[in-house]
Amino acid sequence: MTSGTDFSGSVDTDWEEVRLKKQLAELQKKNEETSTEQSKGSNRSKGSIALIRRELEKLLDYKRSELRKLENGEYDADAVNVFGSVRNDIDDVRGQFETMQNHQHEREKELARLRQEIDQVKTT
């Protein structure tokens, strides 16, 4: 027999009522356990939400101070060096690209010349 339908301890003739009362007690116990677990979990999540909020506020403050520096022209020497270095890198890549493009055009001209020579040899 299952625990939900064991009526041996009951003298009452209304077994259905006894069974339902027992199920109700079990459900109430499960509900209390679940409520306890949820309240513990919500306390943990509240703490993590507060931590995340503090971190985001710190990040926002940092970004605001950096924006103020940029707006006021208060660049530090490292930032100027980094920007200058990036600008130089971009100029170098642009120059390399143009050189490679010129080389490609020269090779295409050479290929066209060779094809003409091949066509001339075929016709003779």
Q: Give backbone dihedrals phi and psi of 39, rounded to 5 degrees, phi first.
A: -70, -35
pLDDT tens, 70-112?
A: 777 776 666 666 677 777 888 889 899 999 999 999 999 999 9
Q: What pLDDT score does 112 carry?
A: 93
4-14 per-position pLDDT tens digit: 555 555 554 56
pTM above 0.75, yes or no: no
In this structure, what DSSP letter does residue 5 have? S
Q: How many CB atoms lie within 10 A of CB 19?
A: 15
Q: What percent of the chain has pLDDT over 70?
A: 73
Under DSSP, the state recorded for 14 is: -
Distance CA(92)–CA(88), nearest Å, equals 6
What's the mean per-residue pLDDT of the chain? 78
Terminal-residue alpha carbon distance, the chain: 106
Q: In whole angstroms, give the CA distance from residue 98 to residue 105.
A: 11
